[in-house]
Structure 1
Amino acid sequence: MTDTTEELIHLEDLAEPRYSPEAQQLRQMMTTLAADCPLDTEVLHARAREATGLQDFGPDDYRERLDRYVSELSEIDMHGPGIVNFHAQLVQWLKNRLLLT
């Protein structure tokens, strides 16, 4: 098995990494998807409910922490792939909460 990581991303400068054409295409697709991935707690809860068909998140003690976390994320000038990744991760956490409640 050969390691092709070097061919995909060449890091000379962490602030401005150079990506292969394939990686650039993936990043562009994720940037397009970011418009449909708002970092908004109501949307995140709705997506988790839709995905699981469940409604009960259990005790609300987590909501203040989630609101604060999402608020802080929203302050970051995040690129499209970052938005998509955080959105997906937060929805998954909420789905897990629904499934465990």
Structure 2
Amino acid sequence: MPMTEEEARTKWCPHARQSTDNFTTYNRSESGKVDDSCNCVASDCAAWRWMSAHSADDFDLVDVPGDPIGALVRRRNYEGEARRGFCGAFGKPEA
């Protein structure tokens, strides 16, 4: 699911590991509690993928006199919105 980096950093990552004094690693305790160090690191991870700035659904095709193709007009204004991305380790999220 696409989210901001701040949102992603609150999610557990199955690939993150925490080490112990005896050189073993884990990503949650025996009780199932997740250590904050095992959360997503968002764009600091090689698997992080950014969503494109705009999708085709953000535009309307309008008629332009004298132009056989028309023109795209943006429906949404993204000014001031946080950029969104997703974990690409398991493929692209479905819409």
Q: Does the pair score TM above 0.5?
A: no
Higher CA-based Rg: 2
Under a length normalisation based on structure 2, what TM-score does the superposition of the two structures give? Answer: 0.28
> Which protein is richer in helix relative to its size?
1
